[in-house]
Amino acid sequence: MVSPNPYAGVGRDFSNIKMNKRLAYIFATLILVLLVLHLQHVQRYLFFFREQMMMFLYDPSIIADRYLGVAGPAQLLSHLMVQFFKLPYMGAIVTGGLCTLSALLLWKSLWRITQSLLLLPLAVLPTIFICDGLFDVYYDYVGLVAFFLFTLFLFIDQWLAPRLSDWWRMAATTLLALLLFWMAGAVAMLFAVCSLVIEVVAAPRKSWQLLLPILAVAIVGAICVKTSLLAGYRYAFQNGAYYEPILKPTNFYHTPWILTAVLPLLAPLTHFVSGKLRPLWLTICSLVLLVLVGLFAVHSANRNGQKMYPMIAMDHFIVTHDWQGLLDSPYTKSGNFLLMNRLNLALSHEGKLLDNFFDYPQVGPYSILTELKQLSLDVEITTTLSEIFYQMDNIASAMEKAFNTVEGLRYGSPSNMQMLVRTNIIFGAYPLAEKYIRLLEKTLFYKDWASDQRRYLYNEELINNDPEYGAKRKSLPPDCEEFTQSRGAYADLLLTIRTNPKATAARDYAIGYLLLANDTPHINAFADEFYGTELMPETPQRLQEAIVAANEKDLDYCRSHGVSEQTIQQYQQLKQMVVDARRNNQEIGGLLRPQYGNTYWYYLLVTSPQIAKLIEQSKKQPEASMSAH
């Protein structure tokens, strides 16, 4: 027996319904355009970042191994889409399209209750929250794809509902739920629940029959957990299934599913309002839509201020080797040492590391290279560390970080795989290089680059004459096996420049370390060993400033190590300005900034961590004395 619809014939005006449909498609187009523009503005670099966090390999055996398990087809569809995020605007277009289609399908799934246009803006809400969840890089893109598949299956289920008898309907919904569980995982429970809720509203007398799909999904999910096909019940029934497995998602990720399950209960209300307020419903719908999109834009933009987004934006420029683009980005004035790592890498590639070093807020040696143990396995950090080590000619450490990143990500990383190709070619480990080349040749966008690298395999002459590989190979120390940052980055830099006097990038990094550490003994030792050699025939200006500051009572030593008379004179003028400022109780930083703000001296006297600590202590001392009194 076909399920009755209690709302059939109630206030039905088919001309109005046809108009509603036309307006719905107009609204859907507007939603699509607004979403694409907004997502491109606030998640542009996140889309690029997601593309780098996986590799889709066109290999039947790999596809079968990766994507035939529970939720495998959704993951397959997700990776097929994400690989195109390498192209500009594709991330925003694909995501906006999925969200708009999901909203339309969800709205159409409720037509057995009402075809009110007021329900369309409400159907957009869950996708808005899912898009907002995508700001968190640990929420997998498959979460959105799974939600799209859910709306598609729900639409099919509701299309079949009036065409099947009760028992056939129950069987069809159960089969759809189980098929969706295999294809997309946990979202099948949302499908089963929503089918029941819609039935409760549209045909309450027979709705008990749709308890069977919920029971079926619950049983199959429990079996998967018990047999270790799934790691826990979160992966069988919750939106958290699409979050990074080793992390615990917040309750925020329950919101889109809860909104979706509640939506059928609001349908009768929108049906009633549409019938009573026909002259106003278009205005109300338009206002609701605009408000929701506006709130979405504001909330997303606020989330955009999170610490990871500037880092992710800079990483895009690093992956594409757009060093000037990185320097022109709006994130270069942050004192965050993770961002400074990336900034200094760009300066080094542009040949401006020392010249423009103090144009930016350096915050100690960590500005050169992050060496915190708690970040050593963070793939978002190790990817950049690999590029930094490669620029330092520390090929072994670059290989180590790239390998850790590839192994740390379940589906690999194309840029890190490229680094493994480059470093193994430099080391002459051709079988390993060929292994990674074969994998990259199975991708869509990196196969041409990988095939081009084959010409270097077993071709020593070509490698040695290559401006990149040949120069890097000359920097390899005799004992490469111990060259993995075991003695610290500065010691490895010294080993590199002693091995290859033409490694100017490594030399500049070593000098940068000395300047940020305010290490007077090693500054002098560096000048003693390398001044007048092939590595440093002339002393760079920033090192001159450090030498004269460290040896102000021995100016002959300064002159004999490349410090110019102009630099000595500038330092003496600065000393006098500092003496006068202290005598007049003036703030030194503001006084020196116009003339000396980009010098080592300004860093030494004003912005170095040691000075900042002294200033903080001086502020606390008056407070302590006041509390003592």
Q: pLDDT, tens digit, for every residue of 457-499?
A: 999 999 999 999 999 999 998 766 555 556 788 888 999 999 9
In this prediction, residue 624 carries a pLDDT of 37
**Same domain, yes or no: 284 and 335:** no
In this prediction, residue 618 carries a pLDDT of 45
Q: Where are the alpha helices (DSSP H) in 467-598?
A: 469-474, 489-499, 504-517, 520-530, 541-550, 555-560, 565-583, 588-596
* Domain final position from 463, 482, 501: 482
**Same domain, yes or no: 100 and 38:** yes
Residue-by-residue DSSP string for 376-432: TT-HHHHHHHHHHHHHTT-HHHHHHHHHHHHHHSTT--HHHHHHHHHHHHHHT-HHH
Stretch 26-33: mean pLDDT, rounded? 86
Say which residues have a Cβ less than 8 Å from residue 463's Cβ, sequence separation at least 6.
425, 426, 428, 456, 469, 470, 473
Instruction: Give percent above pLDDT 70 in the chain.
Output: 86
- Check whether 307 has a pLDDT greater than 60: yes
In this prediction, residue 335 carries a pLDDT of 76
In a domain, 224, yes or no: yes
**R_g over Cα of the chain:** 31
Stretch 44-48: mean pLDDT, rounded? 93
- DSSP-derived letter for residue 554 is -
Predicted structure pTM score: 0.88
- Check whether 301 has a pLDDT greater than 70: no
Stretch 527-541: mean pLDDT, rounded? 94
**Same domain, yes or no: 520 and 596:** yes
**Same domain, yes or no: 289 and 385:** no
In a domain, 7, yes or no: no
Mean predicted lDDT score pLDDT of the chain: 86
- Check whether 207 has a pLDDT greater than 90: no
User: For the ranges 17-31, 217-231, 413-427, 539-553, which has the lowest average pLDDT?
Assistant: 17-31
- Check whether 95 has a pLDDT greater than 50: yes
CA nearest to 381, candidates 345, 341, 328, 410: 341
Rounded to the nearest 10 degrees, how much is the dihedral formed by the CA atoms of 514, 517, 512, 359? -140
Angle at the Cα of 181 from the Cα atoms of 179 and 183, rounded to 5 degrees: 70
**Same domain, yes or no: 270 and 404:** no
Range among 16-20, 328-332, 350-354, 367-371 with highest mean pLDDT value: 350-354
- Check whether 16 has a pLDDT greater than 70: no
What confidence category does residue 398 fall into, taking pLDDT thresholds of 50, 70 and 90?
A: very high
In a domain, 3, yes or no: no
In a domain, 90, yes or no: yes
CA nearest to 72, candidates 389, 492, 411: 411
Structure tokens given for 95: 């995501």
Structure tokens given for 531: 């001044």
CB 624 within 8 A of CB 617: no
In a domain, 146, yes or no: yes
Question: Partners of 531 in the beta sheet?
Answer: 536
Stretch 504-531: mean pLDDT, rounded? 93
Q: How far is CA 66 from CA 52, 83, 385, in A?
A: 18, 16, 29
In this prediction, residue 195 carries a pLDDT of 92
Stretch 205-212: mean pLDDT, rounded? 83
Percentage helix, strand, coil for the chain under 3-state DSSP, each rounded to 5: 75, 0, 25
In this prediction, residue 627 carries a pLDDT of 37
**Same domain, yes or no: 201 and 323:** no
CA atoms of 420 and 436, how far apart (whole Å): 7
**Same domain, yes or no: 451 and 594:** no
Q: Where are the alpha helices (DSSP H) in 227-254?
A: 234-237
CB 67 within 8 A of CB 73: yes
Torsion sign, CA atoms 154, 157, 161, 165: negative
In a domain, 373, yes or no: yes
In a domain, 559, yes or no: yes
In this prediction, residue 26 carries a pLDDT of 81
The residue segments making up the domain with residue 348 are 317-482
* Domain final position from 274, 303, 332: 303
**Same domain, yes or no: 171 and 210:** yes
**Same domain, yes or no: 326 and 227:** no
**Same domain, yes or no: 520 and 555:** yes
- What's the total number of domains in the chain? 3
Q: Which residue has the higher pLDDT, 13 or 505?
A: 505
User: For the ranges 145-154, 275-284, 431-440, which has the lowest average pLDDT?
Assistant: 275-284
In this prediction, residue 494 carries a pLDDT of 93
- Check whether 6 has a pLDDT greater than 70: no
* Tens-digit pLDDT profile for residues 61-77: 999 999 999 999 999 99
* Domain final position from 482, 504, 530: 482
User: For the ranges 224-238, 303-317, 365-379, 490-504, which has the lowest average pLDDT?
Assistant: 365-379
Stretch 355-373: mean pLDDT, rounded? 84
Structure tokens given for 570: 């500038």
**Same domain, yes or no: 280 and 412:** no
Structure tokens given for 226: 């018990």
In a domain, 624, yes or no: yes
**Same domain, yes or no: 289 and 336:** no
- Check whether 114 has a pLDDT greater than 90: no
What confidence category does residue 137 fall into, taking pLDDT thresholds of 50, 70 and 90?
A: confident
- Check whether 281 has a pLDDT greater than 60: no
Q: What is the CATH number of the domain that holds 464?
A: 1.25.40
CA atoms of 47 and 355, how far apart (whole Å): 34
- DSSP-derived letter for residue 59 is -
Buried (b) or exposed (e) across 14-31, using 16+ Cβ within 10 A?
Answer: eebeeebeebbeebbeeb
